[in-house]
Amino acid sequence: MKNNIDYSLYLCTDQDLMSTATVEEAVEQAILGGCTVIQLREKHSSSLSFYKTACRVKLITDRYHIPLIINDRVDIALAVDADGIHVGQSDLPCSVVRKIIGEDKIIGVSASTLAQAIQAEKDGADYLGVGAMYSTSTKTDAKVVTMEELKKIRKAVKIPIVVIGGINQSTLVNFKDCGINGLAVVSAIISQKDIKRAAKKLLQQYKGE
């Protein structure tokens, strides 16, 4: 499965940015709107709470055959048999994650420089999350990546790239001819009242329909 992932519209969840729905409801609406990958990110939960949420979300992603990626916590990914894990530069190194999780699972790595991108591919990453493309309130500590750096990264690595950080209806147009594989979105989907509609509009605009 992991070599045939459609990365077009990649949702990162964020409970702090949600209005009323549960994470699993939000995820289902996002999938119905066309999201192709779900990353579950729970930075402020206990391990038990993260695990329980992941179990509930897995039921949804399995039902729609959408890959579920767990942010940072390899143990949670193993516990719920998620499709993969996403690690940032302050998480477990990709090479260590690969040893724990095996060859069949997806590993995504956040990269904000060419050097990080090349290293991640070398360490066995299956895709890159490149960003932040714009300065964003979701991740205030993220380094902003220039369009030039993104192009260099695209030239240097063969694995799929999703761009992240400030991707929304207005900015996504900038990524149409970059050779990237998809948009990773947080608030432009998860904070919206109508999550399904928000996802659908983003996907339509990205695909140029």
CA atoms within a 13 Å half-sphere pointing along the CA-CB vector of 13: 29
Q: Is 110 a catalytic residue?
A: yes
What's the min distance (Å) between Cβ of 73 and a copy of itself? Answer: 6
What burial class does residue 140 get, using C-beta atoms within 10 Å of its C-beta: 0-12 exposed, 13-18 middle, 19+ buried? exposed
The C-alpha atoms of residue 113 and residue 93 are separated, in whole angstroms, by: 16
Q: Is 139 a catalytic residue?
A: yes
* Binding footprint of a copy of itself, residue count (CB under 8 A): 21
What's the min distance (Å) between Cβ of 79 and a copy of itself? Answer: 5
Amino acid at position 111, single letter: A
Q: Is 43 in the site for a copy of itself (CB under 8 A)?
A: no
The interface region with a copy of itself, picked from 60-68, 85-93, 127-135, 150-158 by CB under 8 A, is 85-93
The C-alpha atoms of residue 74 and residue 205 are separated, in whole angstroms, by: 34
Name, in order, each residue with C-beta under 8 angstroms of 31's C-beta and a sequence gap of 6 or more: 38, 60, 61, 64, 66
Say if residues 167 and 138 touch (Cβ distance below 8 Å): no
CB nearer to a copy of itself: give 102 or 208. Answer: 102
Q: Is 151 a catalytic residue?
A: no
Q: Is 140 in the site for a copy of itself (CB under 8 A)?
A: no
CB nearer to a copy of itself: give 91 or 123. Answer: 91
The one catalytic residue in 105, 139, 196, 200 is 139
Q: Is 103 in the site for a copy of itself (CB under 8 A)?
A: no
Q: How far is CA 144 from the centre of its chain?
A: 17
List the catalytic residues: 41, 110, 139
By CB under 8 A, name the binding residues for a copy of itself: 46-49, 51, 72-76, 78-79, 87, 89-93, 96, 99-100
